[in-house]
Structure 1
């Protein structure tokens, strides 16, 4: 009884109630990447076609140009040895065996041995231009894709925005959710178009750099070839 009396006289202070923050149970919706992309509209389909075309051209051109522009430093040395020895047929076989654009150009130079130097130099230049033309084959498609893909994406976005505002004018329901949802879906086509365009644009200039590098090396080897031919005349 005495203990109860003391408790009533000195009540134990109650612990302060802490209001814990209420965490909203928001369900995170897992978005499929392919489904998200397909929400971009009809223009996504031609953009995808341009993307696969770009990938094919990039792989095919890279393998071809890499093979044709493989620089063999021993080619001009072996060619010099055979020409100084008077073995023109052996020199032509060495060029054919290289199986590169350098060998094809020098092969035409070997075939013109005995003609004036101006004609030999012209033959080398024409052969180099032909090889560079073969390397530049299909690169025009990359330039077309780089220009068309962003435009297609922009058209898809504009058409989607027109549909959104047309729906608003009919239903008279201006909702931030409807507008933002429709916009993000339609802007997917613009994003895809820009990505494909950038890839095609970068690949186009990268391959042109490879071809320019070949042209510079070919000029050096062509000059060495002319010097080899002129050496016997200086003795």
Structure 2
């Protein structure tokens, strides 16, 4: 009978017994090709920028409760020197803005507002440092991943074209999934960088709102009748 003539080779039996081979994530990353290097560098840069900005912004947020109340009391008493010293004790954007305003007391109110605004612009520049680079990483990492995939697909099709005879499905599938690794890695880095960028922007906006509120409060204090 036909079924009786079918024999199973030792190699086939071994393959059936062993089952599909498992591929670790690390193995996939190494198979991604040379385009994985710039993606890895971008991921390191993104982590560094995120951690450095978090530490800087968190430090800028630390304005003590009752800060403006203390400044108000000292200004109303006429102790401007003590108010300046109090601002210097807290190394924060708000403290530096109010200190600049205190140093301009006696000048026209418009000049005081301009001096506070100028300090605020400098502090905002410090807070937003490297955020544009973070946004660039979030967009460039997926593009590098796509580029790596295209290069990998080209290499896979070249290997298929050079293969004599029938093309093995294993050869085709290995070339494709290896090429797709860079896309996955680029998207992963890009998504994390994008989320980190938006989180940092939200933190900066929170600090900016506090700076604006305190500066307006200080200008109102100077306009109060004595």
Match of 2:84 among 92, 105, 123: 92
Match of 1:195 among 188, 192, 199: 188
Equivalent-residue separation in structure 2 for 1:177 and 1:44 (angstroms):
23
Aligned to 2:176: 183
Is the 2:42–2:137 Cα contact (8 Å) retained in structure 1?
yes
**Pairwise CA distance, 1:150:** 0.9
Is the 2:142–2:183 Cα contact (8 Å) retained in structure 1?
yes
Is the 1:96–1:104 Cα contact (8 Å) retained in structure 2?
yes
**Pairwise CA distance, 1:179:** 1.4
Equivalent-residue separation in structure 2 for 1:72 and 1:121 (angstroms):
23
Aligned to 2:48: 56
Equivalent-residue separation in structure 1 for 2:157 and 2:20 (angstroms):
29
Is the 1:75–1:98 Cα contact (8 Å) retained in structure 2?
no
Runs of at least 5 residues in structure 2 that lack an aligned partner in the other structure: 1-15
Equivalent-residue separation in structure 2 for 1:98 and 1:216 (angstroms):
18
Is 1:69 equivalent to 2:61 in the alignment? Answer: yes
Does 65-74 or 216-225 show the bigger shift?
A: 65-74
Runs of 4+ that moved beyond 4 A: none
Equivalent-residue separation in structure 2 for 1:208 and 1:130 (angstroms):
17
Equivalent-residue separation in structure 2 for 1:50 and 1:217 (angstroms):
32
**Pairwise CA distance, 1:30:** 4.5
How many pairs does the alignment contain?
210
**Pairwise CA distance, 1:45:** 1.1
**Pairwise CA distance, 1:28:** 5.5
Equivalent-residue separation in structure 2 for 1:104 and 1:35 (angstroms):
52
TM-score (norm 2): 0.87
**Pairwise CA distance, 1:87:** 0.7
Aligned to 2:4: none
Classify the secondary structure of the residue corresponding to 1:73: coil
CA deviations on 1:23-76 (whole Å, 9 max, x unpaired) are x53345453332221111111111111111110110011001110122323110
TM-score (norm 1): 0.84
Equivalent-residue separation in structure 2 for 1:205 and 1:44 (angstroms):
25
Is 1:109 equivalent to 2:101 in the alignment? Answer: yes
